[in-house]
Each structure stands twice: as C-alpha cells, then as structure tokens.
C-alpha cells in the first residue's frame, strides 16, 4: 500500500534521489543481527512504504528482492542499492498476473536460494460512491490488493515453510474498520485480513509467522493514483484525519514489529485511535467517519 504525497519524492532516481541515497547509509545504532543474511522479497518496492522497508532491511544486512511493475524505477533503485554496497536484485512483475508472480518468486529463489521474508505491499485504491462505481473497478482493486498477495504467497510458501520464515502483509486500517467512499479498497483489505489471519493459524506449527500491518495516513503516492468511479485516476482531493506519517517512520515500526514477531501493527496515532473507537463504539465510529469523508464523494 502507498498513500498520499509527491510520487517523485518517494522514488529512486527522482528529484529527491539524494534524500533516498542518504537514507541508504549504514546504521551504526542498531545491531545488524535479526535479519542479517536473510532474503527479503518486497512487492510494490520501487516507491513509498515498500522502498522504505527495503532500505530498512538492507541496512540490517538482509538481501533484498525489489519486485514492482515499474521497470525504470526498479532499475534505478537496484543501482542505488548496489552503489551503497547492499545485496539487491530487481524483478519486474504485475502482481495481477499469477504466472508473472510465480516466475518472479522463482527468480528470487533461484538467485538467493530461498525467501525468508515476503512483504506483500503492492496496492491500489479507489475513491468513489458505490452506486456510481463500475464493477470493473472493484475487479481491478481486488486483483492488485487481494489476489496479488495471494499469488505471491502461494508461490513463496514452500520456501517460507522450509526456512521457517515470515509473511508481512501491508493491509490498512480500512481492513479492520469501514471507510466511506472506498468500498472496493476496504473490501480488498478486509479480504486480506481474513486470508492472512486464517493462514497464520495454518502456518503457526510450521514455523512461519504472519505480521499484518495496518497503516493510517502515510505520505506516499497511493492517493495520487486513486481510481475514480469510471476506472480512471480521480481528480477528487483526498480527505484525511490528522497528519501524515512518512514511509521511513512506517518502515521503522514495521521492522521492529517483525523483530518482535507481532501479529498486528496499527500505524499512526489516528490509525490506532480509529481502530479502538471502532472496536469500542462501532456505530459512533461509523457516524464520525461518515461526517468527515462525505464531502469527498459529493
């Protein structure tokens, strides 16, 4: 998943590339032990949270497989990682294509010998009223968010079991609460939650851990690509509550949660608040959220 912000500011090779290069500098304040020499494969890794996660794990000594459909951005990111002395490979993949997912994961396994951590991060969103939204939009959102994660997990499962690895799913607070004007997006994230909480039960005795991450508002490029009712990128501005966290701060929390083998990580103060209000007073939450987001789809 990749929320709002300037796309160029989160890509290798863009005008903010110097910032990304600085972020790749080795860290001396954290022990490089938890994921040292582990293989971490990340979808949607050419920008946003995916790229920030790749930076974080690379600094801790992991080998990184950058998986994305943007070949140009991937090549720039791969070169940046190599320039910084990190082990990384780039694999082009459209996660809506099961054959491409299988090939991409096989390529990573053949290159590195296996996968220890699979980060299902690739995502897309939509902003439009359900009654106005074409059915094809729901299909596209589900294809990227839900089936993309399913395909990659299926392909990597044997290796993850063999290496007693970890699956990290970048879900959303919208996967555990309702969200007005994003019925397709929320449905795909709820589906992810059902899939991976259930899969966790199947994999626990096999030694594979599942961490579900639910970001709130993070400053990335997801919202600049949000689909409208007709399937084209919408020009309607996004509504949000509170400020936006950075991909880097999200990656820090995700890494720490992975080290601690947490089951669920809710990101941002407003994300945590929304999660707990929706649990304690769901009707109140629905009314508050509806009031805040109604103008967005008028």
Helical (H) or strand (E) element with 117? strand 117-120
The distance from CA 147 to its chain's CA centroid, rounded to whole angstroms, is 14
What pLDDT is attached to residue 152? 98
Look at residue 178 in the predicted model and tell me its pLDDT.
87
User: CA–CA distance from 136 to each of 101, 139, 228 (Å)?
Assistant: 22, 5, 11
**Strand arrangement of the beta sheet that strand 166-170 belongs to:** 88-92, 63-68, 39-43, 117-120, 166-170, 209-214, 264-266
pLDDT of residue 219: 64
Return the bridge partners of 65, or none: 41, 89
Catalytic residue at 185?
yes
pLDDT along the chain (298 residues), means of 10: 34 37 38 82 94 96 96 94 96 97 98 98 90 95 97 98 97 88 93 97 96 81 74 66 77 95 92 90 89 74
**pTM, 2 dp:** 0.85
| Other Cβ atoms within 10 Å of 204 Cβ, number | 11
* Bridge partners, residue 39, by sequence: 63
Rg for the chain (alpha carbons), in Å?
18
State the pLDDT at residue 288. 87
E strands within 126-229? Answer: 166-170, 209-214
CB–CB of 134/128 below 8 Å? no
Of 86, 151, 185, 285, the active-site residue reads: 185
Query: Is 7-297 a CATH 3.40.50.720 domain?
Result: yes
How high is the pLDDT of residue 237? 58
Residue 78: CB partners within 8 Å, gap ≥ 6? Answer: 66, 88, 89, 90
Closest CA to 206 of 278, 148, 157, 265: 157
Query: What is the predicted pLDDT for the residue at 24?
Result: 37
Q: How far is CA 213 from the centre of its chain?
A: 8
Cβ within 8 Å of residue 37, ≥6 positions away: 61, 62, 63
Q: In this structure, what are the phi and psi dihedrals at residue 209, rounded to the nearest 5 degrees?
A: -95, 145
Instruction: Give the count of alpha carbons within 13 A of 175, CB side only.
Output: 29
């Amino acid at each position: 998943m990749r929320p709002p912000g300037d796309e160029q500011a989160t890509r290798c090779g863009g005008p903010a590339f110097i910032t990304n290069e600085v972020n790749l500098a080795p860290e001396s304040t954290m022990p490089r032990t938890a994921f040292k020499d582990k293989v971490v494969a990340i979808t949607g890794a050419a920008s946003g949270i995916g790229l920030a996660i790749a930076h974080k794990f690379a600094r801790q000594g992991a080998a990184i497989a950058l998986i994305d459909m943007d070949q140009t951005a991937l090549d720039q990111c791969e070169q940046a990682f190599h320039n910084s002395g990190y082990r990384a490979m780039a694999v082009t993949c459209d996660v809506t294509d099961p054959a491409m997912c299988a090939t991409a994961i096989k390529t990573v396994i053949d290159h590195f010998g296996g996968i220890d951590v699979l980060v299902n991060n690739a995502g897309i969103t939509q902003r439009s009223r359900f009654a106005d939204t074409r059915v094809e939009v729901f299909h596209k959102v589900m294809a990227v968010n839900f089936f993309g994660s399913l395909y990659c997990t299926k392909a990597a499962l044997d290796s993850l079991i063999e290496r007693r690895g970890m699956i990290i799913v970048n879900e959303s607070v919208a996967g555990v609460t309702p969200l007005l004007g994003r019925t397709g997006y929320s449905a795909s994230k709820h589906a992810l939650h059902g899939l991976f909480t259930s899969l966790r039960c199947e994999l626990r005795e096999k030694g594979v851990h599942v961490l579900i991450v639910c970001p709130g508002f993070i400053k990335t490029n997801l919202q600049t690509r949000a689909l409208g009712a007709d399937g084209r990128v919408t020009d309607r501005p996004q509504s949000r509550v509170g400020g936006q966290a950075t991909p880097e701060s999200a990656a820090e929390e995700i890494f720490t949660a992975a080290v601690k083998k947490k089951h669920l990580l809710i990101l941002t103060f407003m994300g945590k608040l929304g999660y707990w209000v929706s649990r304690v007073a769901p009707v109140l939450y629905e009314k508050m959220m509806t009031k805040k987001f109604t103008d967005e789809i008028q």
